[in-house]
Amino acid sequence: MNIYINLNKAIKYIEENLEEQIEYKKIAQILGMNEYTAQTAFYVLCNITIADYIRKRRLSNAGYDLYNGNESITEIAIKYQYTSPTAFSRAFEKFHGIKPSLVKQKPHGLKIFSKLEFDEEQKEKTTIEYKIIEKEELILFGIGKKTTIENIQKEAPLIWKNEYDKYGKDYGYFDYGMTSYYGNRFECQNCKYWVLYERKIENKDFQKIVIPKSKWIVFRINSQETKDIQETTQKFYKEFLPSTKYKIREIPELEHYYDDITDFMIPIED
């Protein structure tokens, strides 16, 4: 399966429904993934969340409609699925830098957010080595810091360093890194990146995290450098996932650090 073909199909579905309710479950089905996995895969490959892409495309089209048509601000707000003209106006001004009521006076302030399109002829030629392991329930202790899916790639290494600077002298290197999601994962404005120890830490700042027993796909990274870990994550979503029949469980992925290597661990269903 070529994921770029499916991405173009997902984009086509979004574009055809910008004036209607868009079902995230349908996007996941087009991508051949569950919703939990589809959101991350879309972001990794497109560098934008599904929700943000939909929002920017709607606001981009709304600017054109306001300038070229005769619809009122209220009608445009309803058309692009906003709950109120106030919410629409606020989002419109943030995106375009101009109030919707001033569009016909100052059209030079409008912005276009282009439709995504992928080259379906891209071919992946690499061989990806992995193993399957089964782990009993993991009980971990650590600290989670708020972030968003848009910022996690740059913020996670900073969180890791800041927390190590605070606690590394007393407890040593962290054993795991983890991202947890709260609420609607397609929005993902409420995420946490965690740094975790495998042993119990008697410190009020640390929380207990329980990861249920699971099977895991494991990719070995002979490094603990951020760029190498992120490169493997990209490869998983871009190359491995579209070519496999494994189903991803809705529990967090893990980065396991030891002996100067990193195991990137993805939970799978039996």
Mean pLDDT of the chain: 88
pLDDT band at 2 (very low <50, low <70, confident <90, very high): confident
Which of these, 180, 195, 201, 202, lies nearest to 253 by C-alpha position?
180
Greater pLDDT, 262 or 119: 262
Supply the range of the domain harboring residue 59: 3-109
Same domain, 43 and 136: no
Report whether pLDDT(4) > 90: no
Report whether pLDDT(183) > 80: no
pLDDT for residue 242: 72
Same domain, 64 and 146: no
- CA distances for 109 relative to 21, 105, 217, 246, 257, angstroms: 28, 10, 49, 47, 49
pLDDT for residue 1: 55
Same domain, 68 and 188: no
Report whether pLDDT(6) > 80: yes
Which of these, 10, 52, 12, lies nearest to 33 by C-alpha position?
10
Write the CATH number for 102. 1.10.10.60
Contact call for residues 73 and 87 (beta carbons, < 8 A): no
Residue 118: inside a domain, yes or no?
no
H or E segment and range at residue 88: helix 85-96
- CA distances for 231 relative to 6, 44, 134, 190, 269, angstroms: 22, 10, 24, 24, 24
pLDDT for residue 174: 96
Q: Is residue 40 helix, strand or coil?
A: helix
Burial degree of 267 (CB within 10 A; 0-12, 13-18, 19+): buried
**Which pair of tokens denotes residue 60?**
């981009």
Residue 125: inside a domain, yes or no?
no
Same domain, 257 and 135: yes
Q: How many helices (H) and strands (E) does the chain have?
A: 8, 8
- End-to-end Cα, the chain, rounded Å: 22
Contact call for residues 187 and 51 (beta carbons, < 8 A): yes
pLDDT for residue 57: 95
Supply the angle between the helices 226-235 and 152-171 in degrees, to the nearest 10.
130
pLDDT for residue 148: 79
| Residue range 197-222, pLDDT digits in tens | 999 999 999 999 999 999 999 999 99
Greater pLDDT, 2 or 220: 220
Write the CATH number for 260. 3.20.80.10
H or E segment and range at residue 170: helix 152-171
Same domain, 136 and 262: yes
Residue listed under structure tokens 């106030």:
86
pLDDT for residue 212: 95
| Residue range 64-96, pLDDT digits in tens | 999 988 999 999 999 999 999 999 999 999 999
| Residue range 127-173, pLDDT digits in tens | 678 899 999 999 999 999 988 777 878 898 999 999 999 999 999 99
**Which pair of tokens denotes residue 44?**
């990794």
pLDDT for residue 184: 55
pLDDT for residue 107: 64
Number of domains in the chain: 2
Burial degree of 84 (CB within 10 A; 0-12, 13-18, 19+): exposed
pLDDT for residue 79: 97
